Amino acid sequence: MKNLPAPLHVREEDIMRLLKVPNVEHLLYEICYLNKYIEEEFMFKAMITQLCKDQRASVEKVTMLEAKNKRFQTLIAAKEVALTGFESSRVIDDFKKLIAFKTIIQDCIQEACNHIYEIECIDEGFIRGFLKGVRLVQRKTGVEVEGLTPSQASDDSPPDSNGDEIESELQKAFGLEVDDEVIDIE
């Protein structure tokens, strides 16, 4: 700039002499080249500036979302804690009110009663069969068994039976075949 004339009037010759270009076409070429270079540099700076702004905005958005996420996680955890105790008992209470629940409970009770009845029948049958066997032994041997009450000792089978049917029942109950070893009671 020192080489330029004092009044700031720049001519083509001054520019050519300053840039050391031989002719005007070359000067135009240099100006176009410089213009493209300046535009590219401007675009590059503008893109970098925009990317920096976007990055800052992204960082701010990420931190804001992380803060919201933490807040929501604490709210969700608090609601889960509140609902686990309350919700499960409420669901159970609602289920108890349903007819299906009452039906299920009645079915379970009926199954338990049937099972108990079957066990009692088996026990009663076993006791009755055992007492028949004891009476048979008592009748064949003529020995009284201690610990039997008079009602237990009374014979509920006809007096003319010799105990063959009881023996056959006992054989069936214990799975004894006719060929199996027969234990003589006498």
Summarised one tens digit per residue, pLDDT across range 28-73 is 787 788 888 888 888 888 888 888 888 888 888 888 888 888 888 8
* pLDDT at site 19: 72
Q: Is the pLDDT of residue 117 over 80?
A: yes
Q: Is the pTM of this model over 0.85?
A: no
Across 12-32, average pLDDT: 74
Across 141-161, average pLDDT: 59
The band of 186, judged by pLDDT with boundaries at 50, 70 and 90, is very low
* pLDDT at site 164: 62
Q: Between 111 and 137, name the one with better pLDDT.
A: 111
Structure tokens at 43: 């675009």
